């Protein structure tokens, strides 16, 4: 069992099940723009690199004016509907409680205000020392400077930190920065891609994290 001092958690698909609200918001945006809807599987595959990339992928376009309009529609709608169906993943609360004495941070490519609203709505904000969203710092996952910032701020050694997520960027940012990685295989990420990413640990249930670290 590995001793750790800092636990860095992804949000979407890891701590929370948020896919339905993301899918509904993207399809609402497409409808407003007069475009056909996408399947849930398609939209989920677009998640992980922030809202702009999500919209660009959904539109299959990077034309600035179209993307900006879609971003405005999506952001307004999602802000009002991000807790319609979003809930904590099974055992997420148990893990947060189990590691109550550890420094815990949310590190996500989701915008900070969306992340904070979800954390507050699901009553988990108090478990975290900090929330870092896509617009909190000049860089986002998988940029290793995010981890360097956290290690420096909380004075934690690299071998005492772990990144926990359900996306390939969570593996990449951990590898680039030399910290351990745990991948939750029951989240939003593509299972095959995640297994190919060679994370340090894999779990089907978040509860398994309790037996990995102390």
Which residues participate in catalysis according to the annotation? 10
Between CA 163 and CA 48 the distance in angstroms is: 15
The residues, ordered by sequence, that sit 6+ positions from 208 with a Cβ below 8 Å of its Cβ are none
As to burial, measured by CB atoms within 10 angstroms (0-12 exposed, 13-18 middle, 19+ buried), residue 177 is: buried
Residue 4 · residue 213 · CB < 8 Å: yes
Residue 132, beta-bridge partner list? 107
Residue with tokens 């879609």: 70
The DSSP string of 94-129 is: HHHHHTTTSEEEEE-SS-HHHHHHHHHHTT-GGG-S
CB neighbours of residue 60 within 10 Å: 8
Per-residue CA distances from 162 to 37, 114, 123, 140, 199 (Å): 37, 24, 23, 17, 11
N- to C-terminal Cα distance for the chain?
A: 6
């Amino acid at each position: 069992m590995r001793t750790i001092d800092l636990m860095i958690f992804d949000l979407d698909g890891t701590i929370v099940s948020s896919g339905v609200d993301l899918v509904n918001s993207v399809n609402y945006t497409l409808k407003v723009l007069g475009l056909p809807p996408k399947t849930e599987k398609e939209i989920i595959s677009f998640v992980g690199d922030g809202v702009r990339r999500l919209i660009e992928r959904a539109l299959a376009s990077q034309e600035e004016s179209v993307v900006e309009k879609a971003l405005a529609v999506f952001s307004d709608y999602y802000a009002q509907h991000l807790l319609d169906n979003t809930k904590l993943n099974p055992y997420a609360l148990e893990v947060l409680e189990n590691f109550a004495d550890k420094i815990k941070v949310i590190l996500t490519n989701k915008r900070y205000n969306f992340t904070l609203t979800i954390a507050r709505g699901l009553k988990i904000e108090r478990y975290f020392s900090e929330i870092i969203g896509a617009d909190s710092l000049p860089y986002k996952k998988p940029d290793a400077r995010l981890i360097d910032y956290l290690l420096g701020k909380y004075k934690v050694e690299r071998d005492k930190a772990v990144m926990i997520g359900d996306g390939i960027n969570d593996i990449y940012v951990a590898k680039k920065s030399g910290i351990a990685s745990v991948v939750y295989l029951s989240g939003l990420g593509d299972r095959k891609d995640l297994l190919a990413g060679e994370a340090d640990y894999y779990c089907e249930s978040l509860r398994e994290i309790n037996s990995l670290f102390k």
